[in-house]
């Protein structure tokens, strides 16, 4: 199988924070994993077409990249140099529409990864175009059951759909050897000393681009006032909700117990994951803006930080209740408060939960396993024109084989 991978969402070389997000990390790690596996095996060849750009210049560069990628895909098909094209999102998959006839004549199959927002963006012309992209693809690979459902609602054919979960680099983060020491190390990365470890203090953290669906402002407003003064909450990431978050902190007089760190470098992010006791993902429903998966849950789990998250959308395919965290009803302050309270003053319970979260994450969501799942699905598409075993919406959350 000769595989061509097309992605517009990689950060510039040496500048990972210039374009960061779940979709970007998936594209980067899948590219690296496929390149590594192709180098070690003769079963398939691998050619990437990649746009590496900072977020602030991405939109200006994408049209030129798509035009160039379309021309290169056409040339590869005409010269019989490719068997299957894998698009990293619905943005690059748009090329399948104008190229559909040519690719079919030359026997080239197409597949696209779908993350969530790239299919639900509520712009009428875009929503008109999405079903045409689905019709042009041989396989649609949503990252979760929630994303699969969004694809079905927009016309994707059931026999083309196969859920393939996201993964995490096995070496991206290391677990803490001593959480107290990691907590103290946070002082070197921020302007404040974090609270002591349990039983004298509990540190919660959230990470992500601060948009409304992340629910950070809601959590500060509705849950933090219910928690004791020894429970602290630190938030990393910026976005349009940042002013609302700051206003909510001040309105409840929660500073310095609640801290909004803004965008942080990778070493600070690692220190936060390792120094926190619980990861919080309090997402709220927002029309046409879904959480397709939740890579940050895997990052926290890799650091042995169990999560408490809303039972919503793609989050449900990442968290297994009682294994790597807890799922609670969205927008339920009491449920969140009670889930957190069970670990307050319970260092032994936290330690056990941390080991479970770490083991589950590294066993099931390492990129080696996820890349093998992708290759298995793509080989089936190459051979039969469709995924091997489409997943029904009633099936349990899929996880890669350990």
**Cα 146 → chain centroid:** 13
Nearest to 282 by CA among 396, 199, 205: 205
Q: Sheet harboring 278-281: ordered strands across?
A: 258-262, 231-236, 202-207, 278-281, 307-310, 325-328
Q: What is the pLDDT of residue 26?
A: 77
Tell me the domains of the chain and their CATH numbers: 2-167+366-384 (3.40.50.2000), 179-364 (3.40.50.2000)
Q: What is the pLDDT of residue 211?
A: 92
pLDDT tens across 306-357, in order?
Answer: 999 999 998 998 999 999 999 999 999 999 999 999 999 999 999 999 999 9
C-alpha span between 216 and 208 (Å, rounded): 10
> Which regions of the chain are under pLDDT 50?
19, 390-391
C-alpha span between 80 and 107 (Å, rounded): 9
Query: What is the three-class DSSP state of 86?
Result: strand
Contact 300, 307 (CB under 8 A): yes
* Residue owning tokens 């069970």: 342
Q: What is the pLDDT of residue 213?
A: 93
Q: What is the pLDDT of residue 384?
A: 83
C-alpha span between 66 and 7 (Å, rounded): 9
**pTM of the model as a whole:** 0.76
């Amino acid at each position: 199988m000769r595989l061509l991978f097309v992605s517009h969402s990689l950060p510039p070389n040496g500048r990972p924070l210039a374009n960061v997000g779940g979709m970007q990390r998936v594209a980067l790690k899948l590219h690296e994993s496929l390149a590594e596996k192709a180098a070690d095996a003769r079963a398939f060849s691998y050619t990437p077409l990649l746009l590496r750009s900072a977020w602030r210049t991405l939109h200006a560069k994408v049209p030129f990249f798509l035009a160039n990628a379309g021309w290169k895909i056409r040339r590869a098909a005409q010269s019989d140099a490719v068997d299957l094209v894998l698009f990293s999102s619905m943005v690059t998959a748009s090329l399948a529409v104008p190229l559909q006839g040519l690719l079919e004549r030359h026997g080239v199959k197409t597949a696209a990864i779908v993350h969530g927002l790239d299919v639900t963006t509520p712009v009428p012309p875009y929503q008109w175009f999405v079903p045409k992209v689905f019709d042009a693809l041989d396989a649609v690979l949503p990252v979760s059951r929630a994303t699969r459902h969004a694809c079905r609602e927009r016309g994707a054919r059931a026999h083309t759909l196969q859920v393939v979960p996201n993964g995490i680099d096995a070496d991206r983060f290391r677990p803490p050897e001593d959480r107290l020491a990691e907590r103290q190390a946070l002082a070197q990365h921020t302007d404040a000393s974090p609270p002591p470890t349990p039983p004298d203090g509990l540190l919660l953290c959230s990470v992500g681009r601060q948009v409304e669906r992340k629910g950070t402002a809601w959590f500060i407003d509705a849950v933090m006032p219910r928690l004791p003064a020894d429970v602290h909450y630190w938030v990393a990431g910026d976005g349009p909700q940042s002013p609302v978050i700051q206003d909510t902190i001040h309105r409840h007089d929660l500073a310095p117990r609640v801290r909004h760190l803004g965008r942080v470098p990778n070493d600070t992010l690692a220190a936060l994951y390792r120094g926190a006791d619980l990861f919080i993902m309090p997402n709220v429903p927002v029309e046409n803006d879904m959480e397709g998966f939740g890579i940050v849950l895997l990052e926290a789990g890799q650091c042995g930080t169990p999560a408490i998250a809303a039972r919503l959308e793609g989050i449900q395919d990442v968290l297994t209740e009682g294994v790597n965290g807890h799922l609670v009803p969205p927008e339920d302050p009491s449920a969140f408060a009670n889930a957190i309270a069970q670990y307050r003053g319970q260092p032994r319970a936290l330690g056990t939960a941390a080991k479970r979260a770490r083991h589950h994450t590294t066993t099931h969501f390492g990129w080696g396993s996820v890349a093998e799942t992708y290759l298995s699905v793509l080989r089936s598409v190459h051979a039969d024109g469709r995924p091997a075993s489409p997943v029904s919406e009633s099936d349990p959350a899929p996880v890669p084989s350990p």
